[in-house]
């Protein structure tokens, strides 16, 4: 498996320091040449927007945490893009565990593959309780915990683990990317859901679903691996996704969690 992973790895990333500043520039170049992956990110943006309209019936700021190279503002300009990386597209930097935001000021937080990088999730939840308007919330897209996802994540990423049995919510991270536990959303929102509800009675999990665009995400290679099929097959892959959608709880790679501050 190690040799296969090395073969699949994008050649431009073989010497990459995942915590270094060059990660942002290299990933930006990779995304520019991957229309299939761009489609997946845009679908995630639309999922964020539609779920916010369904569950958050309040006005206020909309903020994406860890916006990275495919910020939601590219699809919805009203969304503030935040990250720890300086870039002209980002409106501000923001520590998700100690936000410089006013109380009761935020309608929606969006986070794509960032929650499992928070070393102290409890601090994040306390900030949600403080900064969200009643009726507002956070929508997170995170690694799923199905059979295929658990098998894949444990083997593909050297800098991040996938430990569903890890006892603590806190992760011994050694950098912005290194050391994260990609199973954190499973641990907090599934395995320890009752604990979450007891600790944060003002927050409620109102929706969870498995994303169905995992074939395109996998075939595109994401931001780190080679694309396996050409872009002209995108329509055929989309049809395949619909046909195999009943299997997404087994084969899915990402899931969505919607958290709302109780009105």
Q: Is 74 exposed, middle or buried (0-12, 13-18, 19+ CB in 10 A)?
A: middle
- Amino acid 87: pLDDT: 41
Residue 41: C-alpha distances to residues 11, 105, 122, 192, 259 (Å): 22, 27, 28, 29, 21
DSSP 84: S
The owner of tokens 């060059």 is 22
Give the distance between the most distant pair of CA atoms in the chain: 52
SS3 228: coil
DSSP 85: S
Q: Which residues pair with 81 in a beta bridge?
A: 64
Instruction: Find all residues with CB under 8 Å of 81, minimum gap 6, and list them.
Output: 64, 67, 71, 72, 73, 89, 90, 91
Question: In the chain, what are the domains?
Answer: 2-261 (3.40.50.150)
Q: Which two tokens stand for residue 229?
A: 């099929």
Mean pLDDT of all residues in 148-175? 85
- Amino acid 9: pLDDT: 72
Give yes or no for residue 1 having a pLDDT over 70.
no
- Per cent of the chain over pLDDT 90 is 70
pLDDT band at 14 (very low <50, low <70, confident <90, very high): low
Report the C-alpha gap between 103 and 106 in whole angstroms.
8
Quote the mean pLDDT of the chain.
88
Torsion of CA 48, 36, 65, 19, to 10 degrees: 160
Report the C-alpha gap between 224 and 221 in whole angstroms.
6
- Amino acid 86: pLDDT: 38
Are 97 and 82 spatial neighbours (Cβ–Cβ below 8 Å)?
Answer: no
Give yes or no for residue 191 having a pLDDT over 90.
yes
């Amino acid at each position: 498996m190690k040799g296969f992973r090395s073969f699949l790895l994008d050649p431009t990333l073989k010497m990459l320091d995942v915590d270094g500043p060059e990660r942002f520039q290299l990933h930006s170049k990779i995304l520019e040449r991957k229309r299939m992956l761009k489609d997946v990110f845009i679908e995630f943006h639309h999922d964020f927007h539609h779920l916010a309209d369904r569950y958050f019936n309040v006005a206020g700021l909309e903020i994406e945490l860890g916006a990275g190279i495919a910020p939601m503002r590219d699809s919805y300009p009203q969304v503030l893009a935040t990250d720890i990386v300086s870039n002209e597209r980002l409106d501000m930097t923001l520590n998700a565990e100690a936000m410089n935001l006013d109380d009761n000021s935020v309608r929606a937080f969006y986070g794509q593959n960032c929650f499992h990088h928070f070393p102290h999730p409890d601090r994040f939840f306390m900030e949600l309780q403080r900064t969200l308007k009643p009726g507002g919330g956070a929508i997170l897209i995170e690694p799923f915990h199905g059979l295929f996802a658990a098998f894949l994540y444990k083997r593909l990423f050297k800098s991040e683990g996938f430990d569903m049995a890890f006892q603590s919510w806190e992760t011994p991270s050694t950098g912005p990317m290194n050391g994260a536990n990609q199973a954190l959303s499973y641990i907090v929102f599934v395995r320890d859901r009752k604990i979450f509800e007891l600790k944060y009675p003002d927050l409620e999990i109102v929706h969870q679903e498995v994303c169905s665009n995992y074939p395109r995400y996998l075939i595109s290679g994401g931001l780190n691996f080679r694309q396996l099929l050409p872009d002209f097959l995108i329509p055929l892959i989309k049809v395949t996704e619909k046909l195999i959608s009943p299997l997404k709880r087994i084969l899915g790679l990402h899931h969505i969690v919607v958290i709302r501050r109780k009105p």
